[in-house]
Structure 1
Amino acid sequence: MAKIKDVAELAGVSVSTVSRVLCNGPVSDKVRKRVEAAMAKLDYRPNLAARRLRSQHTDTIGLIVSDIRNPFFTAVSRAVEDEAYRNGMRVILCNTDEDPEKEAMYLRLMREERVTGVILAPTRHSAAALDTDMLGFPVVMIDRTPAQGDGDAVVLDNRRAAAQLVEHLLAAGYRDIGGLFGNTSSTGAERHAGFAEALHHASLPAPARFVPPSVEAAEAAVSAWLAEPDRPRALLISNGIFLLGAVRAIKAAGLRLPQDLALAGFDNEVWTSLIDPGLTVIEQPVDEIGRSAMAMLLARLEDPARSHRHVVLQGKLVPRGSSAPLRQ
């Protein structure tokens, strides 16, 4: 079995240089490629256990999300894992189901496992109260905004994204617009705020309903709303899980998109372009969110005293047939 000194000899560098390459330390691209080529030729595998004992951490990233069934978090998790792997780190994935007690348990687990750091999509409760400096490891929040703007975070501009959808529906001629939002996350609250502000700016009412985070809850809420005599002419749905539930309810009610009801929502999943007509959505930059969160975490590890950063990314409106202009 090849050892680190064998790699150093073949690459024509010192053992300490090979160590810097293994730890993603400062070396030139030319030297890094030479060392990596030597490791590949010798089929060298670093002794991770020994490295962990020396460094007192595990080269492991904790990724704690609120609902792994949500395609948004699935895509972000893939981007985080890809970037962690590229940097020689592993990922422990945990799912909280928006439960603060479950989240607290996983944060304790992260301490017990001596993780290098955590990327966290916090519950609404912890986003309002969590002091990341007290956890004992660096934390980067994703998708949800820290309460006081403290801590590192990568988020979507949720208010602006929701307002974009409202403005799109208004431009298409719709005036009676309802919104469906989650009742457990700051993301839902921010998207509702953007929805309400845009409609109030247009001097229009902003009827909204709030549901737990599940397809079934969204389907039931939309079904009940559609059965009412004064139902909206258009619906804005605040995430991909809810959007699926809304489509089920609309199909079950025998309504046509957009002739009977216009629909717009969040998350550009594959299925949203395959149904007839395609669904108008806000596409979130999921890969950029995952990569940015990992880059921010690595920067925090390199310089623990650096000031906190709060990166706000923009969504992209993808208009499709579900919100075609209203025919008078």
Structure 2
Amino acid sequence: MAKIKDVAELAGVSAATVSRVLNNVPTVDADLAERVRDAANELGYRANGVARSLRRQRTDVWALIISDIGNPFFTSVARGVEDIAQREGFSVVLCNTDEDPAKEARYIDVAEREQVAGVVMSPNAFGSDISRLTAAGIPVVAIDRPLREPVDSVLVSSADGARLATEHLFEQGWTRPACVTGPARADTAEQRLAGYRDAFAALRRRPAKSLVRHTDYRAESAREAVASLLDSASPPDSFFLANSSLALGALQEFRRRGLLPGRDVGLVSFDDPPWAGFVNPPMSVVVQPTYEIGVQAGELLLKRIGHPLAGKDARTITLSTELIVRDSSLHKPRRTRAKAAQTA
């Protein structure tokens, strides 16, 4: 089996240079680095990952801890994180918590025991404990929701996006938009509810409590919430949904009742899943820069590896959202269509 000294002899460099090249140290001359890699490939050299990890006291692995792998939001975020990790010679282990604090705690325990190089995580809605990671000196970057601890974060202006969505419903002539959002203690759920309320405040109105529902981020829970709103004494005429899983539940209930978005009811959702433009009618959405969230989180983690937080120097990057208007939110009452048909 080839060793570092064999690669060094074939490349005509020192063993230290080989080590720096194989550890992706950027200061090595490009020509020397190419010679080393060519020699390593020719000899079939493979680094001893276990021994290297023992020397470094860290693996070449990042843990990506997310709350719901079934949500397309996290699929795109994961791609962004992985692209940065791969570029720098790291691998990514995906951990799905299902918003379960106990499951999240087990993954944090594994990340600490395995001495991962860093963690990117979406905290659970009820409060995450990363004390084991910080005690072990493992850098953490939070995405989607902030952590109580001072760590780097990549967030999105959720309140602004929700306000834009609700204002759009009012501008289209809908008069009683409802809000179906996530658990009451989840930061993103509260931010999106705050943006919804801001749209009412701009009109010097206050949304009735009966127009708001908190639920978990599951389609079936959203379907039940939408059903209860539609069956209320003063039902809404439109809906703002706090993510795409909730929107899917709303669409199921609309279909069950024979309601068509854009004609019988208005609809805008946070997030732009792959199917949003292909349902009938296409769904209006607030788009988050999901891939960019992952990229920014990866870049922040890279800067923290080997350079732990000092004092209060945690950095927060807040990215903007965009409203994409499609037919589900355009107010086209049934009577307007009938009159247009008669005129034609």
TM-score by length of 1: 0.90
Structure 2 counterpart of 1:324, which letter?
Answer: L
For the structure 1 residues 188 and 15, does the alpha-carbon distance in structure 2 shift closer, same or farther, using more than 3 Å as the test? same
Structure 1 counterpart of 2:174, which letter?
Answer: Y
Kindly provide the CA deviation profile for residues 200-232 of structure 1, in whole angstroms up to 9, marking residues without a partner as x.
222233321001121111111112222335221
The alignment status of 1:195 with 2:192, answered yes or no, reads no
Correspondence for 2:217 = 213
Give unpaired runs (5+ residues) of structure 2: 337-344
Kindly provide the CA deviation profile for residues 130-165 of structure 1, in whole angstroms up to 9, marking residues without a partner as x.
5564454111101002347x2111111111111121
Q: Give 3-state SS (helix, strand or coil) of 2:126's partner.
A: helix
Correspondence for 2:292 = 288
Q: Give 3-state SS (helix, strand or coil) of 1:274's partner.
A: coil
Structure 1 counterpart of 2:157, which letter?
Answer: D
Correspondence for 2:106 = 105
Inter-partner Cα distance in structure 1 for 2:324 and 2:45:
47
**1:27 to partner: Cα distance:** 2.3
- Contact kept, 8 Å, 1:175 with 1:204, in 2: the verdict is no
For the structure 1 residues 35 and 174, does the alpha-carbon distance in structure 2 shift closer, same or farther, using more than 3 Å as the test? farther
Inter-partner Cα distance in structure 2 for 1:9 and 1:219:
67
Structure 1 counterpart of 2:151, which letter?
Answer: G
Inter-partner Cα distance in structure 2 for 1:29 and 1:309:
32
From 319, 322, 330, give the equivalent of 1:324: 330
The alignment status of 1:249 with 2:253, answered yes or no, reads yes
Displaced runs of 4 or more, over 6 A: none
Correspondence for 2:166 = 166
Correspondence for 1:237 = 241
RMSD in angstroms over aligned alpha carbons?
Answer: 2.3
Inter-partner Cα distance in structure 2 for 1:157 and 1:317:
12
For the structure 1 residues 302 and 230, does the alpha-carbon distance in structure 2 shift closer, same or farther, using more than 3 Å as the test? same
For the structure 1 residues 45 and 323, does the alpha-carbon distance in structure 2 shift closer, same or farther, using more than 3 Å as the test? same
Superposition pairs for residues 263-274 of structure 1, below 5 Å? 263-274=267-278
Kindly provide the CA deviation profile for residues 77-109 of structure 1, in whole angstroms up to 9, marking residues without a partner as x.
232223222222222222222222222222122
- Contact kept, 8 Å, 1:22 with 1:88, in 2: the verdict is no
Inter-partner Cα distance in structure 1 for 2:323 and 2:42:
48
Superposition pairs for residues 21-36 of structure 1, below 5 Å? 21-27=21-27, 30-31=30-31, 32-36=33-37
**1:257 to partner: Cα distance:** 1.4
Correspondence for 2:143 = 142
Q: How many residues align?
A: 326
Inter-partner Cα distance in structure 2 for 1:198 and 1:29:
57
Inter-partner Cα distance in structure 2 for 1:115 and 1:130:
14
Give unpaired runs (5+ residues) of structure 1: none
Percent identity of the aligned residues? 40
Inter-partner Cα distance in structure 1 for 2:273 and 2:62:
27
Structure 2 counterpart of 1:102, which letter?
Answer: K
Correspondence for 2:124 = 123
For the structure 1 residues 27 and 193, does the alpha-carbon distance in structure 2 shift closer, same or farther, using more than 3 Å as the test? same
For the structure 1 residues 254 and 85, does the alpha-carbon distance in structure 2 shift closer, same or farther, using more than 3 Å as the test? same
Inter-partner Cα distance in structure 2 for 1:248 and 1:264:
15
Inter-partner Cα distance in structure 1 for 2:11 and 2:254:
64
Correspondence for 1:154 = 154
- Structure of larger gyration radius: 2
Kindly provide the CA deviation profile for residues 24-73 of structure 1, in whole angstroms up to 9, marking residues without a partner as x.
22225734455445545554432212211211111121111111111111
Inter-partner Cα distance in structure 2 for 1:257 and 1:36:
58
TM-score by length of 2: 0.86
